[in-house]
A = this chain, B = another copy of it.
Amino acid sequence: MQGKIAVEEHFAIAETVDNAARWPTGYWAGLNGKLFDLFGQRLAEMDQAGIEIAVLSLNADGIQAIPDIAKAVEIARRANDALAEAVRKRPDRFAALAALPLQDPQAAAAELRRCVRDLKFNGALANGFSQIGTADAAVYYDLPQYRPFWAEVERLGVPFYLHPRYPLPSRRPAYEGHPWLVASAWGFAEETAIHALRLMGSGLFDEFAKLQIVIGHLGERIPYDLWRLDHRLALVPNRPARKTMRDYLRQNFHVTTSGHFSTPSLIHAILELGADRVMFAVDYPFEDHAAAASWFDAAEIAERDRIKIGRINAQALFGLR
C-alpha cells in the first residue's frame, strides 16, 4: 500500500540519548545515527516502504526521565523546536507530536498549547509516567493534579500518545534475573497497559469524554483480556469510573501496530475495537520500516480496513490533510 502514515516514529536530540548504556552496544550504536537522521536514510526507507508521512516524536524515555522540573521544561521546549524545524522543512513527509514536561502539569499544558497553536503540532506523546524531583519517583497521569492538564488537552482537541518507558529499577522486582523481560519484550507493554488502565479506572474519561489516547503494540495486551477485565471489575463496588473498560477503550483509545507485526493480534484488535481505531505504526528506528510495511501490506484483512488503518484513521485523528 502506498501513502501509508506511520504514527509512532522517533527522533532524538543530543540531550535525550544518554541512555545508550542500557542497550547491547551494537544495537544502540546503529540506532543513535538513525534517531538523528531525518532527511537521509529515513526518507529513503520510507519511500521504499510506501510510507508517505511519519508522525514524529521524541525518543523514550525522553522528557519523562528528567527529574529536574526546570530542565524537563527546557529540554522539552528545545526538542519541540527542533521537531518543528524538521516538519517545516518537509511538511509533506512529517507531522509532529509534542514532548511534554509532565513533571509540571501547568508547564506541560502550556507547552502543548504552544506546540499546537504556534507550531501546528498534531498531538502529544508522553513516554509513560514522569520522574519528578528524584529518580525513583514515578508519577502517573491519573492523579488529581493532572486534571487541569487533561482539560487543556481536550480543549485543544489533539490526541495524546501514551508511549512505553522503562519501569524504574525499584518497580520491577518480579523480573529479577531476566533483565530483558523488563524491556520491550514484555515490561514496556505491561507498564503502559497499567498506566492506560489507571486513566480509565480513575474516571478521567467521564470528566473529559472527548479525550483521545493512543497506545501502541496493538493495545498493550488489553484487547486479549478486555472481556475478563470488565467481568472481574463488575464485582467491585464503588469504583470511580462510571463506564466499562470496553467503553473507554472504544470511545477514548486508539491502538497502533508499532512493533507488533502479527496478523492474529491485529485481527483480535479489530474484533475488539473496530478497524476505525487501529493505526499503522513502525516504531522506527527500533523497528524496521521494510519489515513493518511488508507485513502490513500483505496482512489478510479487508482492503478497505488496510486503507483506514494505513492512512485514513491517522489523517482524521491527527488532522493531516
List residues of chain A with CB under 8 Å of any chain B CB.
24, 27, 138, 140, 142-143, 167, 170-171, 173-178, 180-181, 183-186, 189-191, 193-195, 197-198, 201-202, 217-218, 221, 223-229, 231-233, 235-237, 239, 246, 250, 259-265, 267-268, 270-277, 300-305, 308
In the complex, what distance in Å separates the CA atom of A302 from the CA atom of B308?
Answer: 16
For A271, give the chain B residue with the smallest CB separation: B264
Instruction: Let me know if B271 and A300 touch, CB within 8 A.
Output: yes
Could you tell me the dominant secondary structure of chain A's interface residues? helix
A-B contact sample (18 more), CB < 8 A, given A175-B198, A181-B194, A275-B275: A24-B235, A140-B176, A143-B177, A174-B194, A178-B197, A178-B202, A181-B201, A185-B236, A186-B193, A189-B225, A225-B260, A226-B262, A231-B259, A246-B303, A271-B300, A272-B302, A274-B302, A277-B304
Instruction: Let me know if B178 and A167 touch, CB within 8 A.
Output: no
**Distance (whole angstroms) from the CB of A231 to the closest CB of chain B:** 7
* One of B191, B221, B250 near A221 (C-beta < 8 A): B221
In the complex, what distance in Å separates the CA atom of A141 from the CA atom of B231?
Answer: 30
29 contacts between A and B (CB under 8 A): A24-B236, A138-B173, A167-B174, A171-B174, A178-B202, A180-B201, A180-B239, A181-B201, A184-B232, A186-B194, A186-B229, A189-B225, A190-B190, A221-B221, A221-B224, A225-B260, A226-B262, A227-B265, A228-B265, A246-B303, A250-B303, A263-B263, A267-B271, A271-B300, A271-B301, A274-B302, A274-B305, A274-B308, A275-B305
Instruction: Let me know if A268 and B273 touch, CB within 8 A.
Output: no
When distances are taken between beta carbons in the complex, the residues of chain B under 8 Å from A176 are 140
Instruction: Let me know if A178 and B190 touch, CB within 8 A.
Output: no
In the complex, what distance in Å separates the CA atom of A273 from the CA atom of B202?
Answer: 36
Instruction: Let me know if A217 and B228 touch, CB within 8 A.
Output: yes
Instruction: Let me know if A197 and B186 touch, CB within 8 A.
Output: yes
Instruction: Let me know if B232 and A265 touch, CB within 8 A.
Output: no
**Oligomer: number of copies:** 4
Instruction: Let me know if A185 and B24 touch, CB within 8 A.
Output: no
When distances are taken between beta carbons in the complex, the residues of chain B under 8 Å from A221 are 221, 224-225
When distances are taken between beta carbons in the complex, the residues of chain B under 8 Å from A202 are 177-178
In the complex, what distance in Å separates the CA atom of A204 from the CA atom of B109?
Answer: 49
* One of B185, B198, B268, B273 near A177 (C-beta < 8 A): B198
Assuming the A-B contacts A264-B272, A300-B264, A301-B271, are A259 and B171 also in contact, with contact meaning beta carbons closer than 8 angstroms in the complex? no
Assuming the A-B contacts A24-B236, A217-B225, are A261 and B174 also in contact, with contact meaning beta carbons closer than 8 angstroms in the complex? no
